[in-house]
Amino acid sequence: MNICSRSFFLYLSKNKALNRAAQKWGGNIAAGKIIGGTDFPSSVPFIRTLNEQGLAVTVDHLGEFVTNEAVARERTDECIRTIEMIASGSLDSQVSLKLTSLGLDIDAQLVYENLARILDAAEKQKIMVTIDMEDEQRCQKTLDIFKDFKKRYSYVSTVLQAYLYRTENDLNDLLPYQPFLRLVKGAYQESPDVAFPEKTDVDENYKRLIKTQLLNGHYTAIATHDDKMIDYTKRVVKDHNISLGSFEFQMLYGMRTTTQQELVKEGYKTRVYVPYGCDWYGFFMRRLAERPANIAFALKGMAIK
């Protein structure tokens, strides 16, 4: 990726004025195109349509870096309501969340209480909750919390990012927990002290992570729009006779829709990441920063709907 392009979109993702403007008027433009809706009920029709097309879903109430305890508790309540609505509506959907939305940056006890409430609901309804990975400075805290909860809950998974030097060691450290992991390349601006600055190195590390996790036999979500990574996964699966039931591909809502359908027709489980809520701007900019081709996919999706 062009470093300037990545830096540009990451800079835009942090622009408070643009974020406020997006929250004010952009939700209606984005709804049904790059987000499901401004709230979960308005996202349900889009989720049902995806399910009818053979696609599974994971939903994420957008919003992160919460610094107010009341807001963190509200986000927790919202997540629990979403889990209950998924179950009552018989939707083929999981839930993704960010620990900073539950109070990670406020108080350790707060984030533990909030996550426990969510996982209690998830365990009752048998709905997987994925703890999204955020920037590198929060990586260790996130993994420590995941490991602690994985000892007590079955329906919890997390994410590893290929652009961090540490991730291969993190994967090995998680093996005793038999984790369901989502593997991604990574979308935050990180120092070359902690992350590979070159795309080729990120790609090679991503391949190592995919192969290691698949061969370990633990459920794996390969979250990518990169055809090379998709083809690589298919080769590993074929060469090692890996069951199609032990992994899935994941892609963003509104992007690579044709590829999603092709994967389903080929027999691969494919899950669509459907974010919802008004706080969508930063998320969207980071997705554009991840891969230049996402810009074309996103603009095409917004234009044809």
Q: Tell me: is residue 187 an annotated ligand-binding position.
A: yes
Q: Tell me: is residue 298 an annotated ligand-binding position.
A: no
Q: Tell me: is residue 27 an annotated ligand-binding position.
A: no
Q: Tell me: is residue 185 an annotated ligand-binding position.
A: yes
CA 28, CA 19: separation in Å to the nearest integer?
14
Q: Tell me: is residue 186 an annotated ligand-binding position.
A: yes
- The tokens of 218 are what? 């633990």
CA 7, CA 251: separation in Å to the nearest integer?
23
Does the annotation count 182 as an active-site position?
Answer: yes
CA 103, CA 110: separation in Å to the nearest integer?
6
Q: Are 34 and 253 in contact (CB under 8 A)?
A: yes
Of the candidates 60, 132, 135, 170, the residue annotated as catalytic is 132
Half-sphere exposure of residue 124, counting CA atoms within 13 Å on the CB side?
14
Closest CA to 12 of 241, 303, 296, 295: 295
Closest CA to 108 of 82, 133, 142: 142
Q: Tell me: is residue 61 an annotated ligand-binding position.
A: no
Of the candidates 182, 256, 271, 291, the residue annotated as catalytic is 182
CA 249, CA 68: separation in Å to the nearest integer?
35
Q: Tell me: is residue 265 an annotated ligand-binding position.
A: no
Q: Tell me: is residue 224 an annotated ligand-binding position.
A: yes
Annotated binding site: 98, 133, 161, 185-187, 199, 224-225, 286-287
Write out the catalytic residue numbers: 132, 182
